[in-house]
């Protein structure tokens, strides 16, 4: 992709349907190197990226789908959302969900269809590559900020190379299961997943965009009007 960084940021979106076109290993390696180039306090470089495809990815997806069907309770090891959720943020959450379900033709009261769509998180939305992202349990909260910058760099690299991607925070709901299935080191905690592939541009779930807050809603500027 060509253009400015701002163009790249505006073009990026969460992709929830993929073709089965393979993603070359060197392309994902570029994404991982971009992720590691992100700023890092004291150069701790928190976060590990376990990249899965083929039978390795299918095995994890099968284990997750079995857990969903069995009704195994969620067991996330960290809090993703505020509790309780402030009403302003709850409104944004509802609007994002409404946009997705409307694009898919899923009614507000169709609970089963909504559950089925949410369960696609645990299938990495059918992407040919799934990434499991972990962090050491003894890292401080600031290291999650650094890891977030790494994730953004990964997503932008995917976009720049012409691939679609989306972060999957829901993967942490089954963090212990993922941890055991992949035989991860004891000190590593599952933070999220990433689905990577070629976007299916005909899929309705890839046709909508979530709204972003207006500049005046989140940024303030001081001192710019002071006399020179």
Sign of CA dihedral 119, 10, 30, 184: negative
pLDDT digits (tens, 9 = 90+) for 82-131: 999 999 999 999 999 999 999 999 998 999 999 999 999 999 999 999 99
pLDDT band, very low/low/confident/very high, at 25 (cuts 50, 70, 90): very high
Cβ–Cβ under 8 Å, residues 17 and 199: yes
Q: Comparing C-alpha atoms, which of 12, 17, 43, 66 is closest to residue 150?
A: 43
Per-residue pLDDT, averaged over 36-44, amounts to 96
Alpha-carbon distance values, 16 to 28, 83, 161, 186, 224 (Å):
18, 27, 18, 31, 42
**Calpha distance 53→23 (Å, rounded):** 9
Structural domain boundaries in the chain: 5-210
CB atoms inside a 10 Å sphere around CB 129: 25
Is 1 a residue whose pLDDT tops 90? no
Cis peptide before 72 (omega within 30 of 0): no
pLDDT in the model for residue 76: 87
The answer, yes or no, to whether residue 2 has pLDDT greater than 70, is no
pLDDT number for residue 228: 78
Res. 197: pLDDT tops 90: yes
- Give yes or no for a contact between 164 and 158, defined as CB atoms under 8 angstroms apart: yes
- The pLDDT of residue 226: 92
Question: Residue range 1-13: average pLDDT?
Answer: 84
Rounded-to-integer distance, Cα 158 and Cα 11, Å: 11
Q: How far is Cα 116 from Cα 88, in angstroms, rounded to an integer?
A: 27
Mean pLDDT of 16-24: 97
Across the chain, mean pLDDT equals 95
CATH class of the domain defined by 5-210: alpha beta
- This prediction's pTM: 0.95
Q: Tens of pLDDT along 58-88?
A: 999 999 999 999 999 999 899 889 999 999 9
Cα separations (Å) of 41 from 38, 44, 70, 190, 228? 10, 6, 41, 21, 34
Query: In angstroms, rounded to a whole number, what is the distance separating the alpha carbons of residues 41 and 180?
Result: 30
Residues above pLDDT 70, as percent of the chain: 99
Residue 18 is given by DSSP the state B
Question: Going by C-beta distance under 8 Å and a sequence separation of 6 or more, which residues neighbour residue 5?
Answer: none
Percent of the chain with pLDDT over 90: 92
- The tens digit of pLDDT for each residue in 163-186 reads 999 999 999 999 999 999 999 999
CB-based burial label for 192 (10 Å; 0-12, 13-18, 19+): buried
Better pLDDT: 131 or 9: 131
């Amino acid at each position: 992709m060509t253009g400015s960084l701002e163009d790249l940021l505006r073009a990026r979106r969460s992709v929830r349907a993929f073709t089965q076109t393979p993603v070359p290993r060197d392309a994902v390696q570029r994404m991982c190197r971009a992720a590691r180039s992100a700023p890092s306090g004291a150069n701790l470089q928190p976060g590990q990226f376990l990249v899965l495809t083929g039978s390795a990815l299918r095995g994890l997806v099968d284990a997750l789908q079995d857990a969903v069907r069995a009704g195994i309770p969620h067991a996330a090891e960290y809090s993703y959302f505020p509790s309780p959720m402030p009403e302003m943020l709850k409104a944004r959450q509802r609007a994002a969900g409404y946009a997705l379900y409307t694009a898919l033709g899923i009614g507000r009261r169709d609970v089963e269809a909504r559950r089925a769509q949410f369960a696609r998180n645990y299938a990495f939305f059918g992407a040919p590559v799934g990434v499991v992202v972990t962090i050491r349990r003894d890292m401080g909260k600031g290291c999650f900020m650094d890891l977030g910058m790494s994730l953004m760099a990964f997503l932008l690299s995917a976009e720049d190379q012409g691939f679609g991607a989306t972060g999957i925070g829901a993967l942490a709901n089954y963090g212990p299961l993922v941890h055991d299935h992949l035989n991860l080191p004891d000190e590593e905690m599952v933070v999220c997943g990433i689905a990577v592939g070629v976007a299916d541009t005909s899929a309705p779930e890839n046709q909508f965009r979530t709204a972003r807050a207006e500049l005046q809603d989140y940024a303030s500027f001081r001192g710019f009007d002071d006399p020179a």
